[in-house]
């Protein structure tokens, strides 16, 4: 008896996908096709799972411990703090189907619990990916979790498109942290959509800001009280310039990479003194040796000189921390001491030579 062989057309993947896409609206036929023919399995499954109307089909594919939390609705903060994420191998089945999803799930219900207080958004390092997935996640958060107090965005290392979202309403959002390598466009977009939030604490990795117009009409972080920036002084000055807050009390700047000059620091410190000399109570500046490898100690002395010249303008400053590259030619000026009359409110002076 002659052995049956498959038609040659079934060895051409483009034809298999074309047939599967023809059955796109017949989900039962696609499911049968994926089960009955090995050659059609991958194309049929890819089309079948490319558009899913809800998250329900993915629930049985979750790792057992995650599915238990889902089934019992145990997503409170205490449970999640103690929860250990399953190892990668337990996510393989879920991932094998979830990676086929192309169109976003239409979430008519809530994506986040209405009792959520804290959220961390971690994203993939798609260098050339251009979308607004970060902003859309924040929009869902504003809609579903009105009591959220803390937002942390991390790991995004790609350029994004400018979002068309309006400023979002967050009545209780107080702290925002952005520990990611993001670009100027994302910075503007995030500042815009968070511009009405009562954020009082902000920590961010600041990108190099190009000399272009700040394209945001809304006030930026008007309630801000505490700001921590990791970035070069020129970018820090531009960001501080665009803040709407009139009563910043704590400012920390960590300059660990990128070029800098003595003029950059003089401009930054002068602008901070002009804008927040009457409100700033804590000021911290950390300068590594990397930003100016040829003359790091000259730069340190210039920073000290700038602080001394501006000292009388920081009339409410209580805590000053300086961490600067140091050698025998760089010294803390005797005028910069706790007893100095030029610092009327100073209570703690911390100078660290690195």
Question: Do 188 and 162 contact (CB within 8 A), yes or no?
Answer: yes
Q: Please, what sign has the CA dihedral across residues 170, 172, 175, 180?
A: negative
Average of per-residue pLDDT across 12-40:
85
Q: Are 349 and 338 in contact (CB under 8 A)?
A: yes
Q: Is the whole-model pTM more than 0.75?
A: no
Place of tokens 């300086």: 322
**What pLDDT does residue 206 have?**
79
Alpha-carbon span 1 to 126, nearest angstrom: 54
* Residues of the chain above pLDDT 90, percent: 16
Q: Which of 16-30, 238-252, 259-273, 322-336 has the lowest mean pLDDT?
A: 322-336
Which one has a higher pLDDT value, 293 or 30? Answer: 30
Lowest mean pLDDT: which of 258-272, 316-330, 332-346? 332-346
Q: Minimum mean pLDDT among 103-117, 154-168, 298-312: which range?
A: 154-168
Nearest to 178 by CA among 195, 210, 155: 155
Q: What pLDDT, on the 0 to 100 scale, is given for residue 249?
A: 96
Residue 14 binned pLDDT confidence (cut-offs 50, 70, 90): confident
- At 94-140, the pLDDT tens digits run 888 888 887 666 555 567 777 889 998 876 544 444 556 777 788 88
Query: 176 or 111, which is more confident?
Result: 176
C-alpha 311/C-alpha 50 separation (Å) is: 62
In this predicted structure, the answer to whether residue 269 has a pLDDT above a threshold of 70 is yes
Give 349's pLDDT tier (boundaries 50, 70, 90): confident
- Per-residue model confidence (pLDDT) at position 41: 86
Q: What is the pLDDT of residue 42?
A: 87
- The better pLDDT of the pair 20, 227 is held by 227
The answer to whether 336 and 300 have CB atoms below 8 angstroms apart is no
Lowest mean pLDDT among 68-72, 135-139, 180-184, 189-193: 180-184
Whole-angstrom Cα Rg for the chain: 27
Average of per-residue pLDDT values in the chain: 78
User: In sequence order, which ranges of 89-231 are alpha helices (DSSP H)?
Assistant: 92-98, 133-144, 184-193
pLDDT band for position 200 (50/70/90)? very high
pLDDT of residue 148: 93
Q: What is the pLDDT of residue 126?
A: 43
Task: Give first-to-last CA distance, the chain, whole Å.
Answer: 85
pLDDT band at 291 (very low <50, low <70, confident <90, very high): very low
| pLDDT tens-digit map of 325-337 | 765 555 555 455 5
Mean pLDDT across 207-220: 63
pLDDT band at 225 (very low <50, low <70, confident <90, very high): very high
For the stretch 42-63, pLDDT in tens is 888 888 888 777 777 888 888 8
Residue 264 has pLDDT above 90, yes or no: no
3-state secondary structure 215-265: CCCCCCCCCCCEEEEECCHHHHHHHHHCCCCCCCCEEEEEECCCCCCHHHH
């Amino acid at each position: 008896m002659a052995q049956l062989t498959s038609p040659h057309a079934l060895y051409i993947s483009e034809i298999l996908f074309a047939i599967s896409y023809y059955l796109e609206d017949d989900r039962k036929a696609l499911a049968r096709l994926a089960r009955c023919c090995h050659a059609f399995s991958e194309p049929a499954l890819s089309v079948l799972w490319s558009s899913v109307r809800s998250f329900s089909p993915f629930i049985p594919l979750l790792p057992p411990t995650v599915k238990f939390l889902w089934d019992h609705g145990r997503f409170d903060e205490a449970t999640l703090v103690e929860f250990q994420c399953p190892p990668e191998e337990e996510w393989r089945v879920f991932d094998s189907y979830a990676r086929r999803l192309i169109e976003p799930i239409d979430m008519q219900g809530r994506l986040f619990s209405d009792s959520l207080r804290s959220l961390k958004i971690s994203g993939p390092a798609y260098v050339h990916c251009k979308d607004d997935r970060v902003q859309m996640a924040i929009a869902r958060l504003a809609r579903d979790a009105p009591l959220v107090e803390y937002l942390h965005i991390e790991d995004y290392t790609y350029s994004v498109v400018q979002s068309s979202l309006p400023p979002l309403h967050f009545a209780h959002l107080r702290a925002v942290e952005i520990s990611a390598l993001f670009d100027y466009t994302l910075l503007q977009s995030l500042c815009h959509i968070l511009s009405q939030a009562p954020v009082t604490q902000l920590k961010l990795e600041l990108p190099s800001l190009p000399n272009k117009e700040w394209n945001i009409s809304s006030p930026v972080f008007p309630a801000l009280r505490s700001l921590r920036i990791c970035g070069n002084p020129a970018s820090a000055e531009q960001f501080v310039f665009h803040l709407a807050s009139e009563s910043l009390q704590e400012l920390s700047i960590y300059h660990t990479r990128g070029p800098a000059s003595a003029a950059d620091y003089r401009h930054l410190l002068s602008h901070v003194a002009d804008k927040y000399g009457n409100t700033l109570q804590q000021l911290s500046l950390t300068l590594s040796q990397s930003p100016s490898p040829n003359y790091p100690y000259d730069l340190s002395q210039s920073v000290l000189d700038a602080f001394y010249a501006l000292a009388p303008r920081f009339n409410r400053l209580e805590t000053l921390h300086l961490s600067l590259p140091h050698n025998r030619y760089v010294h803390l000026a005797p005028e910069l001491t706790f007893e100095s009359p030029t610092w009327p409110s100073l209570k703690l002076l911390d100078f660290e030579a690195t």
